[in-house]
Structure 1
Amino acid sequence: MRRLLALPAIALCWAVLGPTHVTDVPAPLPIHSGRWPDGRALEIVGDLAAARTVVVLVPGVDTTAANFDTGLGGVQRRAPAWQARQLAAAIGRPDVVVIAWLGYEPPEGVRLAAVREDRAAAGALALRAFVARLPGDRIVLVGHSYGSTVVGLAAPRLDRRVTDLVALGSPGMGADRAADLHTTARVWAGSAASDWTRRLPGLRILGAGHGTHPADPAFGALALPVDGVEGHDGYFVTGTPTLGALAGLARGES
């Protein structure tokens, strides 16, 4: 009887700590702005045909096609489409295009799916395929929150045009060190002092957790300025040093 009672506990531990499983990888998104019934969305800011550099923003937990333009809870700074427009305006160059990419299914809330990397692993495969189809000479990937986990897992075997990977408000990129991402791209990170992800443990045990916080000096990423950024969603607000640094990076000034 005791063995039977122990089975649910064993099953629960395996669900949390078992190996990561790649869920179904979505079919490739068409490369044009749109919102799709399956919850995916894309916003292209600029003329993709004229792009020399393409910046791709990858959002995190609770992002859906329904709140892609308005932001979770109606908070505009949380909206990926708004973030893309903010960055494009700060860059101010017609040969740099910014894309907000929701080509995967993020976890709903900070629950088991957010602690594990199954959704991120599927997203990483979809992101690699999307990036390979982009025009331009140079590509920069910017992951916010769980989106940075997607970027981290996608890092190995990315298109060689990817020069920079950026993690903002990251719970982890699925690695303990930047070197473990196995990429020739530069790795950047920024996390505001008031960002709640700083309170998450920087661990990765089997399928749970996402590794060392990229903003931790021990990770080895290049630091982005975050002074004055408020909370988890303030990185694209006008006037913040993070937005300015991202714009400079996109223009090739860093």
Structure 2
Amino acid sequence: MTPTLLAAPKAVRITPPAGTAAWLADSRRLPDPLRTDPVAVHRFLAAVSEAEQRGLVSEYPGVVGALDGAPPAMRYAANDQAMTAAGSPFSERNGQFLLFDPRGDGLVAQVFGDLSAADRIAVLVPGAANRADNFWTGVGGERHRAPAVQAADLREAAARYGTTDKDRFAVVAWLGYDTPDGVDVSAAREDLARTGAVALNRFVAGLSAVRPQATIALLGHSYGSTVIGLAAPAFPPRVTDIAVFGSPGMGVNTVAQLGTTARVWAGQSSGDWVRRVPGVRLFGLGHGTKPTDPAFDARVFGTSDVADHDHYLSPGTDSLANLASIAVKGLVAYAQGQCRERKVQRLRLMTVHKGH
């Protein structure tokens, strides 16, 4: 049935990982991948021998690869196996994957950097029209729109603008939800975002379980910012920064309504078509006040040389420089006097609303 703007919101339904029925029927009473707290999942698997871990990966790659709280090495091995089984073009992709599910439009989460050594993790949440088959090549074949390319560029930029120790910083390109197909009815509603928010909360909890030393920054582009906004009330304190760009709205009208202790940043190019989207939320339509609206009370960062909706993470832009700084430490660190030489460069690119 085709959704309409005035239709009642759909119930949130998360599709279980492939192989869940057999996993739950296993006599070892394995943790439920959708209901067991990721901390409990981590404890369960920490008590399992390496040989048993390898056996679970081999027997249940679809479940282990998506199991929030499982050791990253287990998930990497499981998703490598699943991608090989999926065949071309997925079997040709190299990297570290915390998620891979080829069903439907597909789900993928790729890690750039060493998650086991990171004391700062940035999670990039993409927006509409992203799917597993364009995760590396970009929407419409445009590489600057590819989550994998954007995440790699963000990590490279961090070495230049955010930190001198890139090895302590990891980026995850997280396509862990079904996105709207484009600028359509589903993009104007929040059904997909609410489902994505549930998945994002579990993913963040899983990162906290396996890397409790690390703090986390969440970066959301376009509809991905709506997912983050709806997930925000459940974020743990380890989420210290949220940055959204090209956002149609975060599902609320003010930073205070997000219910998070994280610093909230927003950027929007003057050439971005999303500026024409009404900042409303009424009868199932819209996503609330734009985050760059002064009434929203976010810290607004500079995007002066971003030409459109899709180049916020392009190398050489003010936007990428500012997002790299936020992703690593938060631009507040620069305003407080850290890295003074770079502070002068960055502060001329940003504006911070007072009061938050």
Shift of 1:24: 1.7
Q: Where do residues 17-32 of structure 1 align in structure 2 (5 Å cutoff)?
A: 17-27=6-16, 29-30=66-67, 31-32=75-76
Counterpart for residue 37 of structure 1: 102
Distance in 1, Cα, partners of 2:15 & 2:272: 31
Q: Which runs of no fewer than 5 residues in structure 2 stay unpaired?
A: 17-32, 34-65, 68-74, 77-96, 160-165, 332-356
Q: More strand by proportion, 1 or 2?
A: 1
Distance in 2, Cα, partners of 1:172 & 1:100: 21
* Amino acid in structure 2 at the alignment position of 1:207: G
2:135 corresponds, among 55, 68, 86, to: 68
Counterpart for residue 3 of structure 1: none
Counterpart for residue 83 of structure 2: none
Superimposed CA distance per residue, residues 57-113 of structure 1 (whole angstroms, 9 cap, x where no aligned partner)? 000110000000000111011000000000000112111100000110001111111
Counterpart for residue 164 of structure 1: 241
Distance in 1, Cα, partners of 2:215 & 2:14: 25
TM-score (norm 2): 0.65
Counterpart for residue 211 of structure 1: 288
Determine which structure has greater relative contact order: mean sequence separation of CA pairs < 8 Å that are 6+ residues apart, divided by chain length. 1
Shift of 1:22: 3.5
1:59 corresponds, among 118, 123, 126, to: 126
Cα pair 1:145 1:170 within 8 Å, conserved: yes
Residues 1:83 and 2:156 aligned together: no
Task: Provide the secondary structure at the position in 1 that maps to 2:236.
Answer: coil
Shift of 1:226: 0.3
Counterpart for residue 224 of structure 1: 301
* Amino acid in structure 2 at the alignment position of 1:141: L
Shift of 1:249: 1.7
Task: Provide the secondary structure at the position in 2 that maps to 1:211.
Answer: coil
Give the structure with higher Rg (CA).
2
Shift of 1:253: 5.2
Distance in 2, Cα, partners of 1:253 & 1:203: 29
TM-score (norm 1): 0.91
Distance in 2, Cα, partners of 1:114 & 1:141: 20
2:190 corresponds, among 117, 129, 137, to: 117
Distance in 1, Cα, partners of 2:170 & 2:258: 25
Distance in 2, Cα, partners of 1:20 & 1:208: 11
Task: Provide the secondary structure at the position in 1 that maps to 2:265.
Answer: strand
Cα pair 2:229 2:250 within 8 Å, conserved: yes
Misfit runs of 4+, over 4 Å: none
Q: Which runs of no fewer than 5 residues in structure 1 stay unpaired?
A: 1-11
* Count of aligned pairs: 243
RMSD: 1.8
